[in-house]
Chains A and B, each alone.
Chain A
């Protein structure tokens, strides 16, 4: 290191020693003397390292909750309290899952959650495509007004309407059925419906006009053009909307629990939210110690894992389509 600094200092002093490059200064000089292509290659390499470094770091932050849930769900309460036990439990405690299964009333809640989520996702995928198609590919009087309505629906917090809607559903005696959650999605509304409309609109706008002009000249009607030409062209949007709709409905802990609150009609989310109460009741009935009662955390996270699994599966199996959707979104063909 010292010799190198001496060298560069020497290079600065005497012009005769131009060739002896060393140290960081020398490296920069050597880099400056390279050709365009080599320069680009080096910069590319450096940026690649930087990108990987930053992304891996952040990806870790995003995976961390998964690891936390998974490891905590396998711990005993002693492990959970022990500060020396971090992430790796001393013994695997499967009992957490059994207790969480009972507390969640898993089969019935799962059925409610899954039914509402799948139906809503299916309906939204179709209905939002219709309105998105209308907004994205047609110009007509009032189109801008309808677009404004869609944006407005996006901006109105559901909390403003939930009381009035609850009353409406109650007069229709449809509270504690799947109706309040599923019916709005039939028309392309419902949970984040407006966002899906905008996504579809965006995708439909990107398709070149020649596509449907050609089909029209060949004599296809509007429904045919929509179903056979247009929908297959926005496959990636369909994947995005279906997956997001399913996941958001599954995780909905506001609207669905408000409409479906009776025992047996609940979805998984409110059961999970009340899991602590269940455990304290359970502990009282079993004459468990104060400590055990307070430490329901591992069971709680076992419950979290059980609630997560279906979404995770949808995500993993739909991942290819989702990735394709993300790859293609916004790309101009």
Chain B
């Protein structure tokens, strides 16, 4: 009897041992696969980030950007103070935040709508799925020119809303930018398509047998199932609008660096802006974490 227990214990121990070693081996393997990226992360993200913090505390010249040679002067938090005290910068930041907050729900709702339509089975859907990625091709300078020429400006829509003053500015902004908003939603449509296609078909069959309409099954099956992706898309759209090169804050930074003497201030502004965006995103995630799982 004792022998048996001992043997059993030994067996359990050996099993545990092999399991552990196997797992350990696998975890080392997994880590090895991530090493190239970590090296790159250190070299191309961490070092520049640290250096940019350093720049933000200096009054720098281009030949001595990091202040190691002594030609640049250490100014402490002066750069930050200057940025905060500049009223035009603060106003631009708030305006661009406001614009993003107006835009994001529209982008997400629109892309969800399109993704639901594109998920249906119908002849020719591949063609449509391809068409909705066209804006990705046109991004960059071409898009800027198109907007400058007013191609994304649907004046037809903006005239609908004139008359109601309170709502007018809000809907006016959305409607006159409807083209640009729609064109910003390609990646979001892709993410939603992925999410929708991962909803198990059996769930739909169950609610259909229970007599649910398509509308009900959307609200009670689809939406709860893909809610994490809705949050993900909101975050993606927020980030996308925060760092877009046509964002007014970005153009302030560009003009600062082009002046040639305000590198420290540009760095300070970019750090403050980044912290502000991260705060907005964090607040958003905290508010919506109920739907994340």
Tell whether A pairs with B: yes
- Least Cβ distance of A178 to chain B in Å? 15
Q: Does B81 contact A (CB under 8 A)?
A: no
| Residues from 301 to 327 in A contacting B, C-beta threshold 8 Å | 301, 304, 307-308, 311-312, 315, 319, 322-323, 326-327
Considering the complex, which residues of chain A in the window 221-242 have a beta carbon less than 8 Å from any beta carbon of chain B? 222, 226, 240
The CA-CA distance from A326 to B190 in the complex, in Å, is: 7
- Give chain A residues whose Cβ lies under 8 Å from the Cβ of B263: 163
Which of A134, A158, A163, A186 gathers most chain B CB within 10 Å?
A163
Residues of B within 8 A of A143 (CB): 30, 34
Asked, given contacts A140-B31, A157-B270, whether A254 binds B245 with beta carbons under 8 Å apart, the answer is: yes
Q: Is the CB of B193 within 8 A of A330?
A: yes
- Complex contacts, B187 vs chain A, CB 8 Å: 195
In the bound complex, residues from chain A placing their C-beta under 8 Å from that of B140 are 250-253, 269
Contact A138 B27 (CB under 8 A): yes
CA distance A66 to B130 in the complex (A): 14
Given A189-B40, A329-B193; A62-B142 close (CB under 8 Å): no
Instruction: From B44-52, B97-105, B166-174, give the one contacting chain A.
Output: B44-52
Which residues of chain B have C-beta atoms less than 8 A from A226's C-beta? 33
Q: Is the CB of B183 within 8 A of A332?
A: no
How far does the alpha carbon of A330 sit from the alpha carbon of B122 in the complex, in Å? 19
**B interface, how many residues as a size bin?**
35 or more
Query: In the complex, what residue of chain B is closest to A165 when comparing beta carbons?
Result: B48
CB distance from A240 to the nearest CB of B (A): 8
Is A62 a contact of B183 with CB atoms below 8 Å?
Answer: yes
Interface members, chain B 246-266 (any A CB < 8 Å):
250, 253, 257, 263, 266
- Surface stretch bound by B, among A15-23, A47-55, A89-97, A278-286: A47-55
Partner pick for A330 among B114, B130, B197, B278, CB 8 A cutoff: B197
A-B CB contacts (within 8 Å), total count: 243
A59 to chain B, nearest CB (A): 5
**For the complex, is B66 an interface residue (Cβ under 8 Å from A)?**
yes
Q: Which of B10-18, B87-95, B144-152 participates in binding chain A?
A: B144-152
Pick the residue among A137, A158, A244 that contacts B243 (CB under 8 A).
A158
In the complex, A161 Cα to B278 Cα: how many Å?
15
Q: A183 to B36, alpha carbons, bound, how many Å?
A: 12
Chain A residues within an 8 Å CB radius of B271:
160
Does the CB pair A62–B134 fall under 8 Å? yes
A291 is an interface residue with CB less than 8 A from chain B: no
State A269–B138 Cα separation when bound (angstroms).
11
Mask, B110-122, CB within 8 Å of A = 1, is: 0000100110101
Interfacial chain A residues near B243, Cβ < 8 Å? 157-159
- Are B130 and A323 in touch, CB under 8 angstroms? yes
Chain A residues within 8 Å of B109, by CB: none
Also in contact, A331 and B197, with CB within 8 A (given A65-B138, A272-B141): yes
Chain A contacts for B253, CB-based, 8 A: 159
Q: Is there contact, CB below 8 Å, between B139 and A248?
A: yes
**Chain B CB within 8 A of A168 CB:** yes
- Tell me how many residues of A have a C-beta within 8 Å of chain B: 90
Cβ 8 A contact of B31, one of A134, A329, A330: A134
Quick check: B129 and A332 within 8 Å, CB to CB? no
**Contact pick for B131, options A59, A153, A273, A331, CB 8 Å:** A59
Q: Is B228 an interface residue (CB 8 A)?
A: no
CB distance B190 to A160 under 8 Å?
no
CA–CA, A127 to B40, complex, Å?
Answer: 10
How far, in whole Å, are A177 and B1 apart by their CA atoms in the complex?
77
Known: A59-B132, A159-B243, A253-B140. A331 touches B40 (CB 8 A): no
B198 engages A330 (CB within 8 Å):
yes
Q: Is B76 interfacial (CB 8 A cutoff)? A: no
Asked whether B52 lies within 8 Å of A141 as measured between CB atoms, the reply is no
Query: Which B residues touch A131, using CB under 8 A?
Result: 33-34, 36-37
Known: A158-B243, A187-B36, A272-B142. A52 touches B137 (CB 8 A): no
Determine if A220 is an interface residue (Cβ-Cβ < 8 Å): no
CB atoms of A163 and B52 under 8 A apart: yes
Does B142 lie within 8 Å of A149, measured CB to CB? no
Q: Is the CB of B142 within 8 A of A304?
A: yes
Give the contacts of A149-179 with B (CB-CB under 8 A): 149, 153-161, 163-165, 167-168, 170
- Pull 27 A–B residue pairs with CB atoms less than 8 Å apart, ordered by A: A58-B132, A62-B131, A62-B135, A65-B135, A65-B151, A134-B34, A138-B33, A149-B41, A155-B278, A155-B281, A160-B52, A164-B65, A167-B66, A170-B65, A184-B40, A184-B44, A187-B37, A188-B37, A195-B187, A202-B194, A251-B138, A253-B144, A272-B141, A304-B141, A311-B137, A315-B130, A323-B126
A-B contacts besides A63-B131, A157-B273, 11 pairs, CB < 8 Å: A47-B214, A62-B132, A62-B134, A65-B138, A68-B146, A250-B140, A253-B144, A273-B141, A308-B142, A330-B193, A330-B194
- Would you list the 5 A-B pairs with minimal beta carbon distance, nearest first? A187-B40, A138-B30, A140-B27, A251-B140, A330-B194
